[in-house]
Structure 1
Amino acid sequence: MLDYFTWDFWQPHSLWLMFISAFLSATVLPGNSEVVFLALMSPLALKDNFSFSSDMLALLTSAVIGNSLGSLTTYWLGRWFPEANLRQCAHPRTRWAIEKMQRYGVIILLFSWVPIVGDLFCAIAGWLRLNGVLTMLFITLGKLVRYIFLMFFGWATLF
């Protein structure tokens, strides 16, 4: 019988596992892609004597693409909301996020990786109809910096 909770099953499918975990973590669904990323990165780092390998690049790419697509999904869901009427926002966290979005523009999406608030930034960017190309660029750049930081953090804790 095949056990789905063993490492032997998930190891050949690690890039798909990383992609799905990163995608779901970036949407409004709860998830923690950092733990999956570090768990999958640790054996790769130990195997390659802490050098950056093509396997680690594939893991990083899978995480960044999955997480970025999840945030872009939230952005497109925000675009489906009716035209923005800022007087209707009663929730203080929503008002705060809209205020920051109007003050800093699309650059605030560099922080789309921040839990809870990042999802709100992506949805409000869609709701305010911000430029889709710039949105994709800043979301992806923010996610890339986040996972590179996690990679170096993982190396530091393993060493």
Structure 2
Amino acid sequence: MTGLAAYGGLFLSALVAATVLPAQSEFLLAALLRSGDWSTSGLLVSASVGNVLGSVINYGLGRGAEAFRDRRWFPASAAALARAQRWYGRYGHWSLLLSWMPIIGDPITVAAGLLREPIWRFLLLVTIAKVGRYLVLMIAVLGIN
């Protein structure tokens, strides 16, 4: 496998995993880490940038949701958006620190766009959450003390 395939594949996997589409990037990251063939910092950057960019896509969906939320093809159900809006309304921008979590993380990032969270704060909090999650995963896989 070439570097482009490894880092690019991880980037794409992380990007898709952060959108409302069902996907996982953790298994690929763990496999690449265990192989020992790739730079851990390169893997961290590839996964983190992809995952944050995927959340930015969700944010954009939220920003445009008012115009399209009732369309059949819209990727988030009305019920999921309503739950995310309630959660976001209750906990505010700090809920973006949970954007790394399965099931609830993606709708929270959509709700942030829907509720017009400033992009700078969105990027800051989502980046902290996503990088932190991948760092914890890397420590668990590599057994770093």
TM class by shorter chain equals 0.7 to 0.9
Pairs aligned (count): 135
Would you say 1:112 and 2:103 are equivalent positions?
Answer: no
**Residue 113 of structure 2 aligns with which residue?**
126
The runs of 5 or more residues in structure 2 that have no matched partner are 68-76
- TM-superposed deviation, 1:76: 0.6
1:102 to 85, 89, 113: 89
- Alignment check: 8 A CA contact 1:10 1:17 kept: no
**Residue 34 of structure 1 aligns with which residue?**
26
Distance 2:23 2:83 in 1: 24
- Alignment check: 8 A CA contact 1:19 1:62 kept: yes
Change (3 A) 1:102 1:16: same
Distance 1:90 1:29 in 2: 16
- Alignment check: 8 A CA contact 1:19 1:67 kept: yes
SS state at 2:39 partner: helix
- TM-superposed deviation, 1:17: 0.8
Structure 1 runs of 4+ with >4 Å offset = none
Letter in 1 for 2:51: N
The runs of 5 or more residues in structure 1 that have no matched partner are 1-8, 48-53, 84-88
CA RMSD of aligned residues (A): 2.3
Distance 2:59 2:44 in 1: 22
Task: Deviation per CA, 1:120-143: give whole Å up to 9, x if none.
Answer: 001111111111110011111100
Would you say 1:150 and 2:134 are equivalent positions?
Answer: no
**Over alpha carbons, which structure has the higher Rg?**
1
Would you say 1:138 and 2:130 are equivalent positions?
Answer: no
Letter in 1 for 2:85: I
Letter in 2 for 1:125: A
- TM-superposed deviation, 1:99: 2.4
Within 5 Å, give how 1:61-100 maps onto structure 2. 61-82=45-66, 91=79, 93-100=80-87
Distance 2:78 2:63 in 1: 19
Letter in 1 for 2:62: G
